[in-house]
Amino acid sequence: MDGLDERKVKILDAIIRTYLETGGPVGSRTISKYTDLNLSSATIRNEMSDLEDLGYLITPHTSAGRIPSDKGYRFYVDHLLESKDKEISDMKDFVIEHTEKMEQVLKQVARMLAKTTNYATMISSPKYSGNKVKFIQLSLLDANQLLAVIVMEANVVKNKIIPLRQRLDNEALFKLNLLLNSTLNGLSIPEINLGIISRMKEQAGEYSDIVGVVLDAVAESISQEELEIYTSGATNIFKYPELSDSRKASELIYTLEEKQQLKTLVSDSLNSESETGIQVYIGNESPIQTMKDCSVVTATYELSEGVKGTVGIIGPKRMDYERVMDSLKELKTQLDGIFRKPSG
C-alpha cells in the first residue's frame, strides 16, 4: 500500500507511537531497540530516509530525529489503529446525575471528558432538525404579557414572553391554546409549511400576531442560531509544550472561548457521516485555521430520530488517538442512555 512494504509500515508505526509518548523527535537508535524485528540503527536510518521521501515523516532540523507529518498521522489513524476492545473505560464511575437541565448534562459531559482525556473538549447542544412539537401552552402573566411554553419531543422546553398589544380574555386564551396544540402537536419543523401557517392565522383571527410569534419561537428552538456549544479543559493545552507558546495558546483558547468558529466544525462533522460516526481532523484538515497545529476528533451522538449533536476533543497532533476514539465511542452509547430518561 502506497509504496510501503511491511517493514516500513512497522517502522512508521513504531516511530509514531514513540512520538505520541515522548513528544520529541525520534531517532534511529530508539527504534532499533524498540521494534521486535532486530535491525541496526543504520538500517532504520535508511528506511526512515525513505519514509521521509515518501512524505510520511519530517525532519524538523538537520540533526534531530524524525516526527510524523500530517500524512503520517493520517496513515496511522486509517490503517495502524486497531480499536482493541479495551476494558470498559472508567467513565462509568462518573455518575452523571439526573439533572433536570440538558444544559447541565452537556456541561458536565464536556468537563468529565476533559478530565479523563487531558485534552480540550467541546460539545454541541443537539440540533432538533426532525424533532416534533409535543405541547404548547400560552398563559397570561399579567395584563400586558403572555408566556408561551413550548415543549418538543425530547422534552426540550422553550419559554417566550410575548408583549400583548390587545386585551386577551381567558376564553380567547383557551381557544388559542386549543388551536395551537391541535394543529401543531406531532409536527416536525419541516412539516409546518406555509399552508398550515396561514390556515392557523386565519383561524386565530385578531390574534394572528400571537400565533406568528409562537411559530417564530418554535422555529428558533431548532435553528442553527440556537446551537449552543460548551467547552471545557481549555487549559489542558498547556500540558503540551508544542501548543503552549503564548501566541498559539492565546489563539486556541480564544477560539474555544468564543465558540463561533466551532460551529463550522460541528456542521462539518454532522454532515460528513462516517460509519462509526467518528471523524478525525489532522492539522489543516480541520476547517478552523487556529487549529492547524492540533488534531480534532469528533463524534456524533443521536438522542432520537434526527436529533443530533457533536462532541469533540481538541489536542495536539500527537494525541492518543486510540484512547480518544475509544472514549468517544463509549460516550456515544452512554449519551444515548442518559437522554432517554425523562429530562429537559
Partner DNA sequence: TGTTAGCACTCGTTCATCGGGAGTGCTAAC
Partner DNA sequence: GTTAGCACTCCCGATGAACGAGTGCTAACA
Instruction: Give the footprint of DNA on this chain (CB under 7 A).
Output: 25-30, 38-43, 45-46, 48-49, 52, 59, 61-66
Considering the complex, state which of residue 18 and residue 232 has its C-beta at the smaller distance from its own copies.
232
Site size toward its own copies (CB under 8 A) is 34
Considering the complex, state which of residue 25 and residue 315 has its C-beta at the smaller distance from DNA.
25
Considering the complex, state which of residue 91 and residue 149 has its C-beta at the smaller distance from its own copies.
149
The single-letter DSSP state of residue 166 is S
Considering the complex, state which of residue 54 and residue 173 has its C-beta at the smaller distance from its own copies.
173
Terminal alpha carbon distance of the chain: 50
Minimum separation from the CB atom of position 12 to DNA (A):
13
Minimum separation from the CB atom of position 38 to DNA (A):
6
Exposed, middle or buried, 109 (CB in 10 Å: 0-12/13-18/19+)?
buried
Q: Is 163 in the site for its own copies (CB under 8 A)?
A: yes
Cα–Cα distance measured from residue 273 to residue 328, given in angstroms and rounded to the nearest whole number: 15
The binder of 182, among its own copies, DNA, none, by C-beta within 5 to 8 A per type, is none
Minimum separation from the CB atom of position 23 to DNA (A):
12
Minimum separation from the CB atom of position 216 to its own copies (A):
10
Exposed, middle or buried, 123 (CB in 10 Å: 0-12/13-18/19+)?
buried
Q: Is 224 in the site for its own copies (CB under 8 A)?
A: no
The binder of 195, among DNA, its own copies, none, by C-beta within 5 to 8 A per type, is none
Residue 43, H or E segment? helix 41-53
Q: Is 232 in the site for its own copies (CB under 8 A)?
A: yes
Minimum separation from the CB atom of position 157 to DNA (A):
55
Q: Is 337 in the site for its own copies (CB under 8 A)?
A: no
Cα–Cα distance measured from residue 330 to residue 109, given in angstroms and rounded to the nearest whole number: 12
Cα–Cα distance measured from residue 16 to residue 336, given in angstroms and rounded to the nearest whole number: 34
Minimum separation from the CB atom of position 28 to its own copies (A):
32
Residue type, 115: K
Q: Which region, left, alpha or beta, applies to residue 228 given φ > 0 means left and ψ of -120 to 50 means alpha?
A: beta
Q: Are 315 and 120 in contact (CB under 8 A)?
A: yes
Considering the complex, state which of residue 47 and residue 153 has its C-beta at the smaller distance from DNA.
47
Considering the complex, state which of residue 258 and residue 305 has its C-beta at the smaller distance from its own copies.
258
Piece of the chain touching its own copies by CB under 8 A; list 1-9, 244-252, 298-306, 317-325: 244-252
Considering the complex, state which of residue 48 and residue 234 has its C-beta at the smaller distance from DNA.
48
Cα–Cα distance measured from residue 67 to residue 133, given in angstroms and rounded to the nearest whole number: 53
Minimum separation from the CB atom of position 34 to DNA (A):
12
- Residue 31 has phi, psi (to 5 degrees) of -65, -35
Q: Is 234 in the site for its own copies (CB under 8 A)?
A: yes
Considering the complex, state which of residue 41 and residue 304 has its C-beta at the smaller distance from DNA.
41
Piece of the chain touching its own copies by CB under 8 A; list 8-16, 84-92, 233-241, 272-280: 233-241
In terms of C-beta distances under 8 Å and separation of at least 24 residues, what long-range contacts does 23-31 make, across chains too? 23/240, 23/241, 23/242, 23/316, 23/318, 24/65, 25/60, 25/64, 25/65, 25/66, 25/67, 26/65, 26/66, 26/67, 27/64, 27/65, 27/66, 28/65, 30/65
Cα–Cα distance measured from residue 118 to residue 319, given in angstroms and rounded to the nearest whole number: 10
> Which parts of this chain interact with its own copies (CB under 8 A)?
100, 134-135, 137, 139, 141-142, 144-145, 147, 149, 151, 155, 157, 159-161, 163, 232-235, 238, 244, 246, 249-251, 253-254, 257, 342-344
